[in-house]
A and B are shown apart, each in its own frame.
Chain A
């Protein structure tokens, strides 16, 4: 039995979520009394791992693993898991992890508990997941403690990694079985507009609670009276009510204003990662259980259509 932590890297740098996953794996290894092996596809990253408290570092250096491909990654990890006799495989919940792990979960008939926020070991080992858009938490058990776990951003702290020393073991794998079912091409960014929300001092951000496009001026007028930029949650952009450059979150911009005023935003984790670094978060939401109130400094449980116009009026009269 052993824990395997998968290390994702980009251009020789370890992904932040992988560093957090190491902390998680170390804590879990200590509680369950199991050794922790790290697995990485890059020499530089492997060297970086040497100074952490790990039982083993397995490095697979192969030109076919430089660019991400779900089929190749799954094939390699299948071999590593078998060689290492790994029972719990841990990764950060990145776009890559959520893409290749399910393939291996189905192939090995082992469960994948995705997007977890932590674990408990008393009395039994369970992982913690938030469900129903963050409104409910759940404890999930894994049969025979044998399966895959991915941890969401912020579940553990990268600066709490225990240091130590560990040698790198180079391993070669058989990639001859790899097919070209999936052929990843070039990466690109869409033309970005002039809006750089990351520098904004104040952001008034609108969520689905705004109801319809015709209601947007209510928020825009508030923004004007506060000299603020307008931001948005994903659905508002998906509906085409505001351009993508206004989107805050994991697939949009990361912002750190002095004040982030969230109007009708529930506070899903993908939104939170883009704004929780704000100095002050003020949330107006009519649902007292909305997850946004877990990170808000000031909360107003009211209908935004009651509060916002009055607030704009007071601000303008100032």
Chain B
């Protein structure tokens, strides 16, 4: 099995993201970066499929040089090689642009599977893996919570549906799966893994080399802090004061005693 895993670098979830009046992120430098959560589960699933069935795992990430961190992390955990799709303004691409760029970068590989997280923690378009399936003429399944290779030509996946339901679905290979968080327990990289990572190859393909131009058929015109729709009563003061006020609300307003 030759498996491509798409990994995105995003701002850490605990980051205090802020925008100025003209709609640009103001504190980019202060924000920590990490691997998109569901992508980490996708990587783990790819590694487990490889360990069971043999094959190769290629970690692909799109962005500036900073994304080398997430590629190296994937290599340290056990992926075989990396592909850095280099572009400076990744954030300005819409989902369709991004999928076309990734397509251009991997179309010459003879892939059995593309695995990616089901959506990113930053823009949350939730489309990349499925767009890619159509562009590459692959089958696909989204919201995947389990995988089982059947034979050389098919895979069975467990898909999450709404409200606690699931569904088994069989797919012809090659396929593109978008992975939901919780499917497995992502591993940590070992010291040995980190040593081995240093010897693993990372290919670089730039958007220009690939002849890529962004069409930006959908485009972010403005960013802003959401308007509040509800009047929240903030309880403030020292810890003791807060707790006393809260006890009072419990008793007299929420009336739970």
Q: Mark A86-124, 1 if CB is under 8 A from B, else 0.
A: 000000001100110011111101111111000000000
Shortest distance from the beta carbon of A312 to any chain B beta carbon, whole Å: 10
Taking a contact as CB atoms under 8 Å apart, the answer to whether B140 and A70 are in contact is: yes
In the complex, residue of chain B having the shortest beta-carbon distance to the beta carbon of A228: B256
Q: Does A130 contact B (CB under 8 A)?
A: yes
Which of the 9-residue segments B61-69, B105-113, B235-243 touches chain A? B235-243
- B249 interface residue per 8 A CB criterion: yes
Distance in angstroms between the alpha carbons of A20 and B223 in the assembled complex: 25
Cα-based distance from A17 to B133 in the complex (angstroms): 26
Q: Is B7 at the interface (CB under 8 A from chain A)?
A: no
Interface residue ranges of B240-257 to A (CB < 8 Å): 240, 242-244, 246-247, 249-250, 254-257
The answer for the CA separation of A266 and B16 in the assembled complex, in Å, is 12
Q: How large is the interface on B (under 10, 10 to 19, 20 to 34, 35 or more residues)?
A: 35 or more
Report the tally of A-B residue pairs with Cβ distances under 8 A: 243
Asked if B162 is at the interface of the complex by the 8 Å CB criterion, the answer is yes
Given A112-B95, A136-B224, A298-B249, verify A180-B218 contact (CB < 8 Å): no
Q: B192 interface residue, CB < 8 Å from A? A: no
Give the complex CA separation of A208 and B218 in angstroms: 33
Q: Does B191 contact A (CB under 8 A)?
A: no
Check: A138 CB closer than 8 A to any chain B CB: yes
Q: A184, A190, A301: which contacts B169 (Cβ < 8 A)? A: A184
Q: Is B204 an interface residue (CB 8 A)?
A: no
Query: A132 CA to B220 CA in the complex, in Å?
Result: 13
Contact flag A180-B172 (CB < 8 Å), given A95-B143, A289-B225: yes
Are the C-beta atoms of A106 and B122 separated by less than 8 Å? no
Bitwise, B209-232 to A at CB < 8 A (1) or not (0) is 000000111111111111111101
Q: A106-B135, A310-B239 are in contact. Are A132 and B17 (CB under 8 A)?
A: yes
Main secondary structure of the interface of A (DSSP, over half): mixed
Q: Give Cα A147 to B133, complex, Å.
A: 19
Shortest distance between the CB of B116 and any CB in chain A (Å): 12
Give CA–CA (A98, B142) in the complex, Å. 8
> In angstroms, how far is the closest chain A Cβ from the Cβ of B171?
6
Question: Which parts of B177-225 form the interface with A (CB within 8 Å)?
Answer: 181-182, 185, 215-225
Contacts of A137 in B (CB 8 A): 223-227
Residues of B within 8 A of A294 (CB): 226, 228-230, 232
Query: How far is B127's CA from A104's CA once the two chains are assembled, in angstroms?
Result: 11
What's the Cα separation between A260 and B126 when bound, in Å? Answer: 29
A185 touches B170 (CB 8 A): yes
Evaluate contact between B165 and A99: CB separation under 8 angstroms: no
Which residue in chain A gives the minimum CB-CB distance to B171?
A182
Q: List 19 A-B contacts (CB under 8 A).
A: A95-B161, A99-B142, A106-B134, A109-B217, A111-B95, A112-B95, A114-B127, A131-B122, A133-B13, A135-B226, A184-B169, A185-B156, A201-B256, A240-B185, A244-B164, A251-B162, A298-B234, A299-B233, A301-B236
Chain A residues in contact with chain B, CB under 8 A? 70-71, 74, 94-95, 98-99, 102-107, 109-115, 126, 129-143, 147, 180-190, 192, 201-202, 208, 226, 234-235, 237-238, 240, 244, 250-254, 258-259, 266, 279-280, 282, 287, 289, 291, 293-302, 306-307, 310-311, 314-315, 318
Binding site for A on B (CB under 8 A): 11, 13-14, 16-19, 37, 94-96, 99, 121-127, 130-135, 138-143, 156, 160-172, 181-182, 185, 215-230, 232-236, 239-240, 242-244, 246-247, 249-250, 254-257
- 5 cross-chain pairs, A with B, having the tightest CB-CB distances, nearest first: A238-B182, A106-B134, A102-B130, A181-B139, A111-B218
Known: A112-B127, A234-B182. 7 other contacts (CB 8 A): A102-B131, A182-B172, A250-B162, A251-B162, A297-B232, A298-B233, A310-B243
